């Protein structure tokens, strides 16, 4: 990669992040009245807990030692409320390291609540293992991939989520976020080159067409978004004005965007190599080669989507089998219909991205443009 190409790439990525930060400043409000810190459980009182099988109701009273912050070393009394949901509740024991929330009012502690087990250290070790393997294998490309990974986390957490909670139109906001994420990922990996532009335009074109298909068939299937995890809890927590259906549609497109970017970059990179090895290859022949590459990639990627989505509902499928549910009942069950919509529309997006990317890449690689390097 020459110096001019590096400069253009850095400038583009910097502009994208500046725009993201600028927008974020108008979306996020801060609240410093509650601090969440690590603590060690010294004593547990289960006298107010009623257990029934794997679930519990009531609450635990805990004596916890604060391990960080301005209250470090102090022993506080915290409560751990049970909701009766085994997938959410935690039953703490003496010696557990947990995360607590301290609510302050006028500088004094108003309430202390146990939130969850403290898992950050092991999560950090797992992430560092991922970073180490990524850089060892991919080198500088791995560093660029890590940048795009962290930048994507930032855009999702600091722009997408606050924007949705603030009532921004989910479809418009997700369109903006997909565009930003695709640009960050493609240009950080490929630089501002023909390969990056071909992959970016191919990804966005396929996903935007897929969004229209998702909205149409989502309406026909009568899906209103309430199948998404914690959607009902979100509404009842003071966000009744949210457009859950549009958020559900947006989540489908965002979920499929990663695989779409993967296919687009695979095709664009492969076609670039073909053009480098065979400079005399014409546009039609190059596009046909891109189509052939796309067919092979799509053959496995659609199955990847199926396995990824079905894996998230493995226990539901097991439940259907234990109840001897008919195929008709399963196909018409709301949650299954939602996953069918998610899987099939995501696969449609992949099928669209492949030929669009091949056509765009074939055109870009055949003709020289001053905007790009010779490649």
Give the least confident one: 30-34, 52-56, 263-267.
30-34
pLDDT at residue 353 is higher than 60: yes
Give pLDDT tens digits for 199-254.
Answer: 999 999 989 999 999 999 988 888 887 777 777 778 777 778 888 889 999 988 98
- For 58, the enclosing helix (H) or strand (E) is strand 55-66
* Size of the chain in residues: 375
- 177 to 194, 263, 292, 346, 351: CA distances (angstroms): 22, 19, 31, 17, 22
Given this model, what pLDDT does residue 366 score?
87
User: Which pLDDT band, with edges at 50, 70 and 90, does 96 fall under?
Assistant: very high
Q: Which among 296, 290, 261 has a CA at the least distance from the CA of 273? A: 290
- Least Cα distance to 335 among 358, 367, 312 occurs for 312
Looking up tokens 């549609």 gives 249
Q: Which of 169-183, 228-242, 272-286 shows the lowest mean pLDDT across its residues? A: 228-242
Residue 300: pLDDT above 90? Answer: no
Tokens of 68: 């960080």
Beta bridge partners, 67, equal none
Element spanning 81, H or E = strand 75-83
Which pLDDT does position 128 carry in this prediction? 92
Radius of gyration, alpha carbons of the chain: 25
How is residue 79 written in tokens?
């409560």
Residue 266 per-residue DSSP state: H
Mean pLDDT of 247-270: 89
Helices then strands, each counted (H, E), the chain: 12, 6
pTM over cut 0.85: no
Beta bridge partners of 37: 100
DSSP result, 182-227: HHHHHHHHH-SSHHHHHHHHHHHHHHHHHHHHHHHHHHHTT--STT
């Amino acid at each position: 990669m020459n110096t001019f190409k590096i400069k253009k790439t850095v400038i583009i990525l910097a502009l994208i992040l500046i725009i993201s930060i600028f927008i974020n400043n108008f979306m996020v409000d801060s609240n410093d009245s509650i601090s969440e810190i690590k603590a060690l459980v010294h004593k547990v009182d289960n006298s107010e807990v009623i257990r029934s099988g794997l679930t519990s109701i009531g609450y635990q009273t805990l004596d916890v030692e604060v391990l960080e912050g301005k209250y470090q070393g102090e022993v506080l009394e915290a409560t751990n409320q049970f909701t009766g949901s085994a997938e959410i509740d935690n039953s703490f024991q003496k010696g557990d390291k947990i995360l607590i929330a301290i609510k302050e009012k006028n500088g004094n502690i108003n309430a202390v609540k146990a939130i969850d087990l403290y898992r950050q250290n092991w999560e950090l070790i797992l992430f560092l293992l991922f970073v180490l393997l990524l850089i060892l294998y991919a080198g500088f490309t791995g560093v660029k991939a890590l940048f795009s990974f962290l930048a994507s986390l930032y855009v999702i957490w600091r722009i997408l989520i606050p924007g949705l909670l603030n009532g921004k139109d989910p479809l418009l906001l997700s369109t903006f976020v997909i565009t930003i994420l695709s640009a960050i990922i493609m240009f950080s990996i490929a630089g501002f080159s023909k390969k990056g532009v071909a992959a970016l335009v191919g990804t966005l074109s396929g996903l935007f067409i897929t969004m229209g298909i998702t909205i149409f068939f989502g309406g026909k299937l009568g899906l209103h978004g309430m199948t998404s995890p914690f959607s009902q809890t979100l509404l009842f927590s003071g966000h009744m004005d949210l457009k859950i259906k549009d958020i559900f549609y947006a989540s489908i497109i965002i979920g499929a965007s990663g695989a779409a970017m993967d296919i687009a970059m695979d095709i664009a990179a492969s076609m670039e190599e073909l053009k480098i090895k065979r400079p005399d290859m014409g546009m039609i022949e190059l596009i046909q080669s891109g189509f052939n590459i796309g067919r092979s990639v799509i053959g496995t990627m659609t199955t990847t989507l199926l396995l990824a989505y079905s894996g998230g509902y493995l226990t539901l499928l097991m439940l259907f089998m234990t109840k001897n549910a008919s195929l008709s009942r399963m196909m018409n069950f709301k949650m299954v219909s939602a996953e069918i919509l998610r899987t099939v529309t995501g696969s449609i997006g992949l099928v669209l991205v492949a030929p669009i990317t091949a056509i765009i890449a074939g055109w870009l690689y055949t003709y020289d443009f001053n905007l790009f390097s010779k490649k």
